[in-house]
Structure 1
Amino acid sequence: MSKYRNPALTVDTLIIDNNKIVLIKRLNNPFKNHWALPGGFVEYGEKVEDAAVREAKEETGLDITLDKLVGVYSDPNRDPRGHTVTVAYIAHIIGGKLHSDSDAKDAIFIEIDDLKDVDLAFDHEIIINDASL
């Protein structure tokens, strides 16, 4: 009898403010010390929208409102830890102050035009390109 396995569910959020986007520097592997979109795992019983807002607060200190869905990303190789599916959103800031927390080593605002010079974790470059910022 084979063991049934499911992919893990995650969220990623493009937090936009005045032509800038928030990136976090990852504290842990995989992609330790790489820049990434704020995000993380959806908890059991949690809506993906609530997880996106929670993860943004935990990693950046910012309170956000989700504006729109960017897409769902399910490449089994997008995360070296195993198969994850992420739901990605665009959001804007409604409060808080940017600072790193949780599993983020740093948090910054970066000009959207400067993203081309940043080596991003996971498939976050694809997600950002799909958002057509």
Structure 2
Amino acid sequence: MSTRIEILTMCMVWDKLHGKVLLMNRPDRKGFPGYIAPGGKVDYPESIVDGAMREVEEETGLKVTEITYKGLDEFCDPEQGLRYMVFNYLATAFEGELLQNPPEGELIWIPLEQALNLPMQDWFAERFPRFFNEGTFERSVIWEKSTGQTLKETFKVYSDKVLQ
């Protein structure tokens, strides 16, 4: 069986000055309904970080000017030969105006401490705090889509303490 790899990004946009994050309310017809950070597929041959910044601009109208890599969420399904990799970023500086008619769903700025009260997918609620924690993370899940069963999960947080 051949392996198929899909590379995606997710980028949390954080207005630190006002203590708010930008989320979009994805409708059911788009998949993953509920509130979520901007993101999507990386176009070949663009770099992963360029893909993250492009997705933010396409979905929100904002141009990212400062971005930090936060970690990797990886999902593997041996039945399908699929490896689905989501590279996560935190944007802390940006310019521009929000789109009036965003393509992926309504955009809202919400205080960071209130964001988890919004309706969202369980996996996004679990990932949300990781954007704001020290260091970077790596999560790998091997699961069977047909049964919905997790076969193995690995989670690791990395710090820069080795450089100190």
Is the TM value for this pair above 0.5?
yes
Amino acid at match of 2:6: A
- The runs of 5 or more residues in structure 2 that have no matched partner are 134-164
Counterparts of 1:77-116 in structure 2 under 5 Å? Answer: 83-99=83-99, 100-102=101-103, 104-116=104-116
Instruction: Return the offset for 1:72.
Output: 0.2
Aligned to 1:31: 32
Aligned to 2:21: 21
Instruction: Return the offset for 1:83.
Output: 4.8
- CA shift digits 1:22-72 (9 cap, x unpaired): 10122443223x111100000110101100110000000111124311100
Instruction: Return the offset for 1:76.
Output: 3.5
How does the TM-score come out when normalised to structure 2?
A: 0.68
Change (3 A) 1:75 1:122: farther
Write the distance in 2 (CA, Å) between the matches of 1:109 and 1:96: 14
Instruction: Return the offset for 1:5.
Output: 2.2
Instruction: Return the offset for 1:120.
Output: 2.0
Percent identity over the alignment?
22
Aligned to 2:67: 67
Write the distance in 2 (CA, Å) between the matches of 1:39 and 1:66: 16
Write the distance in 1 (CA, Å) between the matches of 2:122 and 2:41: 14
The structure with higher relative contact order (CA 8 Å, sep 6+) is 1
Q: Aligned to 1:74, what secondary structure does the other structure show?
A: strand
Runs of 4+ in 1 over 4 A off after TM superposition: none
Instruction: Return the offset for 1:122.
Output: 6.5
Counterparts of 1:37-76 in structure 2 under 5 Å? Answer: 37-76=37-76
Q: Aligned to 2:4, what secondary structure does the other structure show?
A: coil
Amino acid at match of 1:5: T
